[in-house]
Structure 1
Amino acid sequence: MEPCVRVRVAKCQMLATSLFVLLLGSAMAATAVLSYFGPHFAVISSVSTDRTTYEALHHWAFSAGIALAALLTLGAVLSAAATVRGAGGLMAAAFLSFALVFCALVQAAFWRAHSPTQVEDAVLDAYDRAYERALRSVSGSGRQELVAIQDTFRCCGKRSPLGLLEGSEAGLCQGEEAARQDCLQGIQSFLRAQGNVVSTLIGLGLAFTVYAMLLSSFIWFSIRSGRYSVSQRARSCPPQEPRVYGRIQEGSPSQRPSKADASGGRLSPSRHSGQLLLLRDTHPPTHGSGDAAVSTRM
């Protein structure tokens, strides 16, 4: 494959990768917003009145998701603009954005691998505190918070290993609510589904950022070298030769001068005849030479 063809293929791949990175950034932003303003997480935040571990993780996850989405969107826009315009500075800025996202995603993947149940434990601790307040509450405000959690997660209470509820706990789950699943299991299943979505986004982000960094670095070196044009206005791969050099090449035949031409003193085609012809063409004859030719003929 010729170098210019490789550059064009890299340009097409860079534009496609920028589109997928832009979609990935939108997905990360949507996930961060849903995790912060969604009903399941919002109802847990409402019962966490004090500065608990869940509150810290909640704000950290939202801020990290929005920051990653912004960097991905910025990198996608810069890489697309640099590919279309052939700007090396924009491509370097896009590479820097992708590198920052890659480092952040590596840290997020490391955290997910070593602390897979940290968010789950924080949410369950918040539910346990709400459950204990509901059992000790006399006014009924604590029970209203617990009922809101149970209605959101479609669960009810915490069952014993035998599957039975004690006397004080049985009053929290009556009628159709008693047939719901355990809240601990319901919350765990929901959080694990959300964790799988986050892990998928992290894996896709790592793959796309690595590929985007490779493409952006290749296109940047192509732009800086100046050997190949990455602008869409370029239609030919190799650079055109100068006109003077082309005339010199056209005026240099491969035949060697004959002995008769050499003895007669005539200028025969040689390796430097093209240059002499070019010089002869660049200096037009004067009027004096024309008059001398007319007098000779007469």
Structure 2
Amino acid sequence: MGRGEEKREEGRGEEESAMRPRSRVRMAKCQMLVTSFFVLLLGLAVASMAALTYFGAHFAVLGHASSERTSYKAMHRWAFYVGISLAGLLTLGAVLTATATVREAGGLMAVGFLCFALVFCALVQVAFWSFRKPTQVEDAVLDTYDLVYDQAVKSSSSIWRQELAAIQDTFLCCGKSSPFSLLGSSEADLCRGAEAERQDCLQGIRSFLRTHRNITFTLTAIGLASTVYGMLLSSFLWFTIRAGCSLDRKGRYTLSPGARGCQPQEPSFFRCSQWGPAPQHSSKADALSGRLGPRGHSDGPRLLQGD
């Protein structure tokens, strides 16, 4: 009874030690699927933000009023292209990692890891640029408004006044405060009636850009955290797949010694018996002829015989 109990305990210990890596792989797969789903949602959010930045009313009216010589045009296009590229890489990485997790495909998992790595590098550059030059976008937008405002005040053309009115109606503001608290007659004519009660356009534009910057910073932080976690999970699952970890017919994970095809190699005896010719049993005559030489003499050691 003592030996039987010891064997049972040893068997239980071996089963528990074998279940630990299996449970880790299953947990990593579940986390990878959940992370891929959230990364997919993040990609859609980044794409929506990029489209809102390019086609939104606030940025579109400024882009229509700005000239090609200003830095706002180039910055506007750059922000849109970067956002769309990041959204595409996030979506592609999420789809590839989810598919690779379900199918246990090492190649797809490696490509998904590469997508996450590219997004991580791009987000690091964006974060570094935003911390180094936090007011560059705000300065470009305010320069565009100042240009339109000055042209509407100084020029007699109605085109600039229409552009200024479109900007002010979009941002729900009117004019800008004078440092000397005195406005000329042409400047006072721009804000009359209910428009005079609106807020200053410089403050309104700054408030809108501050909200937009906070949303962008939040998406950048979530993207950095998601890509780092996705890279860790994808690298772990890639090494697991390369090691030959797969599901058997009973739904259990088995680790094979080789990574090719996730199938353990058979011993040489079974390979020979399966693919080679069937073994033939030698008869006594064959054994005797094998021991005798070509002339009928024995090839073995000769016994000394006495006279």
TM range (shorter): 0.7 to 0.9
Superimposed CA distance per residue, residues 212-253 of structure 1 (whole angstroms, 9 cap, x where no aligned partner): 000000000000011x21x5966123469x9x99xxxxxxxx
Contact 1:28 1:65 in 2 (8 A): yes
Q: Distance in 2 between matches of 1:158 and 1:51?
A: 23
Give the counterpart letter for 2:77 in structure 1: H
Please give the alpha-carbon distance, in whole angstroms, between the structure 2 residues aligned to 1:153 and 1:131: 14
> 2: CA distance between counterparts of 1:58 and 1:132?
22
Q: Which of the numbers 189, 193, 196 marks the counterpart of 2:214? A: 196
Q: Distance in 1 between matches of 2:248 and 2:32?
A: 14
- Hey, what's the Cα distance between the residues in 1 that align with 2:248 and 2:31? 14
> Does 2:165 correspond to 1:147?
yes
**Identity percentage of aligned residues:** 63
More off after superposition, 76-85 vs 45-54:
45-54
Higher relative contact order (CA 8 A, sep 6+): 1
One-letter amino acid of the structure 2 residue matched with residue 235 of structure 1: G
Matches within 5 A, 1:215-254: 215-226=233-244, 228-229=245-246, 231=247, 235-238=251-254
For 2:81 and 2:248, the matched residues in 1 are separated by: 38
Distance 1:160 1:223 in 2: 68
TM-score, structure 1 as length reference: 0.78
What is the aligned partner in structure 2 of residue 110 from structure 1?
Answer: 128
Match of 2:230 among 212, 218, 222: 212
Q: Which residue of 1 aligns with 2:7?
A: none
User: CA separation in 1, counterparts of 2:161 and 2:248?
Assistant: 66
CA RMSD, 1 decimal: 2.3
Offset at residue 140 of structure 1 (A): 1.2
Distance in 2 (alpha carbons) for counterparts of 1:232 and 1:76: 26
Q: Distance in 2 between matches of 1:224 and 1:51?
A: 54
Q: Give the aligned residue type for 1:49.
A: S
Aligned length: 245
Q: In 1, Cα distance between the equivalents of 2:34 and 2:59?
A: 35
Q: Which amino acid aligns with 1:237?
A: Y
Partner amino acid, structure 1, of 2:37: L
Match of 1:57 among 61, 75, 79: 75
| CA deviations over 1:144-183 (Å, ceiling 9, x no partner) | 1100000000000011246553322100000000000000
Whole-Å Cα distance in 1 between the matches of residues 84 and 255 of structure 2?
45
| Partner-residue secondary structure (3-state), 1:2 | helix
Question: What does 1:59-98 align with in structure 2 at a 5 Å threshold?
Answer: 59-98=77-116
Question: Are 2:76 and 1:30 aligned?
Answer: no
Question: Structure 2 stretches of 5 or more lacking a match?
Answer: 1-18, 257-263, 268-278, 281-307
Q: Which runs of 5+ in 1 are unaligned?
A: 246-281, 284-298
**How far 1:137 moved relative to its partner?**
2.0
